[in-house]
């Protein structure tokens, strides 16, 4: 499977993009709507015009038309052929390549089995659910054994449970097939779960490339920090293993309990929306519960961002506007906050930050 290299790629949205996708890697292109993620995918596929060079295994593919680049593409809106049943949809790529009927049948059956959709073979796309359609589209993309797989927001418009399930399956499949994959999404959770590395794209530029941990704990600039939700990052001074997969870390005078089983923790991070704020002391065990003073209040469209000073730390919390209105909060007021235990992200290493 090839290594993909984009060198100084520019077009109507991309601006001088340099990017490498390693062999057998799953690279996630992450960015807001209109950032140029899909366009970059189309550049790799050869579906749009561009300046610059695209290399597959150090061979320039600029002059090679899309159908001959050896690419499997899952489009954002799926585009199943409505007039063909599931079997024929999957067989289409093989038929166009002139394979024999026997070969087509063997390969399609193999894919139907792999994607667990054997029972759907004779159904038409209009009789398929969203999840089933995605499986068929993926099978169709994989049918001609492509060297590169491009996935453009394949989990759009699916319910949370199906998305979670399909993501796990997709990741396993990618590992099993050892296929170089570029995956587009604007969902951070999805990006973190799927990616070997993430490339953050904004306004047609690649802002940062790195592992999910690098992006989250060390965003290259303010824009990226905003894109990933401006997480609170705490540098850990002390780390104590409490056993049973739980650790206690000390950050700026705060003792925070973290579910973690492994080496000692260097940093922890928590998104502002995962910090509960209350004007009265919350009931229950006081795990990760602190008292602080509001130092700043920022109003967004739907949420209110509070900066709360707790000992030596400034913690940002985000609460919905309606809840804020009901609580009568103001600068200088004492509040209680609770950090969502399961949402705390952990970073063990200090030295792996590279841009």
The residues that touch another protein, with contacts defined as CB under 8 A, are 81-84, 92, 95-96, 98, 124-126
Shortest distance, position 88 Cβ to another protein, whole Å = 8
CA distance 63 to 46: 9
**Short-list 154, 212, 143, 213, CA closest to 179:** 143
Give the dihedral sign, CA 258/261/266/271: negative
Closest separation in Å from C-beta 98 to another protein = 8
Residue closer to another protein, measured from CB, 98 or 243: 98
**Residue 267 to residue 273: CA distance in whole angstroms:** 19
Residues in the chain: 355
CB of 119 to another protein, least distance (A): 18
Instruction: Name which of 21 and 104 has its Cβ closer to another protein.
Output: 104
CB 312 within 8 Å of CB 252: yes
Instruction: Output 81 or 299, the one with its CB closest to another protein.
Output: 81
**Of 84 and 257, which CB lies nearer to another protein in the complex structure?**
84
Tell me the C-alpha to C-alpha distance, in Å, between residue 278 and each of 172, 256, 336. Answer: 42, 18, 5
Q: By C-beta, is 98 or 283 nearer to another protein?
A: 98
Q: Least distance in Å: CB of 81 to another protein?
A: 6
Closest separation in Å from C-beta 67 to another protein = 10
Q: What token pair was written down for 258?
A: 């973290």
CB of 137 to another protein, least distance (A): 16
Q: Rounded to an integer, what distance in angstroms lies between the CA atom of residue 330 and that of residue 156?
A: 39
Long-range contacts of 328-331 (CB under 8 A, 24+ apart): 328/279, 329/277, 329/279, 329/294, 329/297, 330/294, 330/297, 331/294, 331/295, 331/296, 331/297
Between 88 and 211, name the residue whose CB sits nearer to another protein.
Answer: 88
* Contact call for residues 181 and 27 (beta carbons, < 8 A): yes
Nearer to another protein, 99 or 203 (CB): 99
CB of 337 vs another protein, minimal distance in Å = 56
Are 198 and 183 a contacting pair, CB within 8 Å?
A: no
Give the C-alpha separation, 338 to 139, whole Å.
Answer: 45
């Amino acid at each position: 499977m090839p290594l993909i290299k984009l060198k100084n790629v520019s077009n109507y949205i991309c601006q001088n993009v340099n990017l490498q996708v390693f062999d057998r890697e799953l690279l996630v292109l992450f960015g807001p709507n209109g950032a140029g993620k899909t366009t970059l995918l189309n550049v790799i596929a050869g579906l749009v015009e561009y300046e610059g060079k695209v290399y597959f295994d150090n061979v320039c593919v600029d002059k090679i038309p899309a159908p001959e680049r050896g690419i499997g593409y899952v489009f954002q809106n799926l585009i199943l052929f409505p007039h063909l049943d599931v079997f024929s949809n999957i067989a289409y790529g093989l038929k166009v390549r002139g394979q024999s009927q026997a070969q087509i049948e063997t390969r399609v059956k193999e894919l139907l089995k792999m994607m667990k959709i054997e029972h759907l073979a004779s159904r038409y796309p209009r009789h398929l659910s969203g999840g089933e359609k995605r499986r068929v589209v993926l099978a169709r993309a994989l049918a001609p054994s492509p060297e590169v797989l491009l996935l453009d927001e394949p989990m759009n418009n699916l319910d949370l449970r199906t998305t979670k399930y399909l993501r796990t399956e997709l990741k396993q499949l990618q590992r099993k097939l050892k296929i170089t994959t570029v995956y587009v999404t604007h969902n951070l959770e999805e990006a973190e779960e799927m990616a070997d590395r993430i490339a953050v794209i904004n306004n047609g530029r690649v802002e940062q490339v790195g592992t999910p941990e690098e992006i989250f704990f060390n965003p290259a600039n303010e824009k990226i920090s905003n894109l990933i939700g401006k997480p609170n990052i705490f540098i850990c001074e002390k780390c104590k293993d409490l056993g049973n997969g739980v650790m206690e870390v000390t950050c700026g005078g705060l003792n925070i309990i973290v579910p973690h089983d492994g080496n000692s923790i260097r940093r922890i991070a928590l998104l502002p929306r995962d910090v509960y704020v209350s004007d009265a002391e919350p009931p229950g065990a006081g795990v990760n519960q602190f008292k602080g003073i509001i130092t700043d209040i920022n109003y967004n469209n739907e949420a209110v961002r509070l900066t709360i000073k707790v000992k030596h730390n400034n913690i940002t919390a985000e609460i919905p506007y309606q809840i804020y209105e009901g609580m009568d909060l103001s600068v200088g007021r004492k509040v209680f906050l609770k950090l969502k235990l399961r949402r705390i992200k952990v970073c063990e290493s200090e030295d792996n930050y590279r841009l």
